Amino acid sequence: MTDPVELVWPTALDEGLLARTHRMIHAVTETGGAIGYLTPPDRAETDAWLHGVLADVRTGDAALALATSADGSDEVLGCALWRRRAAVASYRHSAEIQQVMTHPAARGRGIGRLLVSALIDDVRAAGLELLILGVRGNNHGAIALYEDLGFREWGRLPSGIAVGDERFDDVKMYLELGRPDGVAVHGSAAVGAGASARRA
């Protein structure tokens, strides 16, 4: 029987949490995890990343979920986050799921599903309408998980991810979470701000 897992949503970081999260990220990268690092990052790099994430958490533009061991060790077994697409006002109704990872020793325990499901609920509770994510094209297990949770592919950039001399598709997926009453959905119709008629 495996030890139980609990989710924590940190809003501040201490030395212990920084160290435990670094150990998990290092282990994932060391075993080839597709989380953006080509080589295992050092502690300064993961600390800087976590401080950046927590800065967005404190403004309400992100949330970080950590799956931790409930055996008393508080070891970080997995993490994932959402960040609001806040660069310009017209994207603030949506968020992106990022950095979904599970420690190699904890794979097969449903931690990825637990994390992503919790993020979906959290983004919906935050009142956002649309959730997106990107996944490496060769990660068929992750794609199947996301599809099972309701995500659908909306685009694929061939060879969009470079890992040394290897190239992989960059698969983009989305999940609609609902819209407030009164929102008009125009899709690609030539109406509204920025519209132009199709040339004959």
CATH of residue 20's domain is: 3.40.630.30
Q: What is the C-alpha separation between 85 and 14, in angstroms, rounded?
A: 27
pLDDT digits (tens, 9 = 90+) for 57-93: 999 999 999 999 988 788 999 999 999 997 788 999 9
Structural domain for 129, as ranges: 5-134
Q: How confident is the model at residue 128 (pLDDT cuts 50, 70, 90)?
A: very high
Provide the whole-model pTM. Answer: 0.92
Judge whether residue 166 has pLDDT over 80: yes
Q: What is the share, in percent, of the chain residues with pLDDT greater than 70?
A: 99
Choose between 114 and 74: higher pLDDT.
Answer: 114
Residue 133 CB neighbour total at 10 angstroms: 21
Choose between 195 and 110: higher pLDDT.
Answer: 110
Q: Is residue 117 part of a domain?
A: yes
Q: Is residue 167 part of a domain?
A: no
- pLDDT for position 138: 94
Total domains in the chain come to: 1
Q: In which element (H, E) is residue 15 found?
A: helix 15-30
Judge whether residue 113 has pLDDT over 70: yes
How much is the average pLDDT of 153-164? 94
Judge whether residue 30 has pLDDT over 50: yes
- pLDDT for position 1: 45
Q: Is residue 109 part of a domain?
A: yes
CB 29 within 8 A of CB 41: yes
Q: Give the 3-state secondary structure of residue 19.
A: helix
Q: Give the 3-state secondary structure of residue 100.
A: strand
- pLDDT for position 59: 93
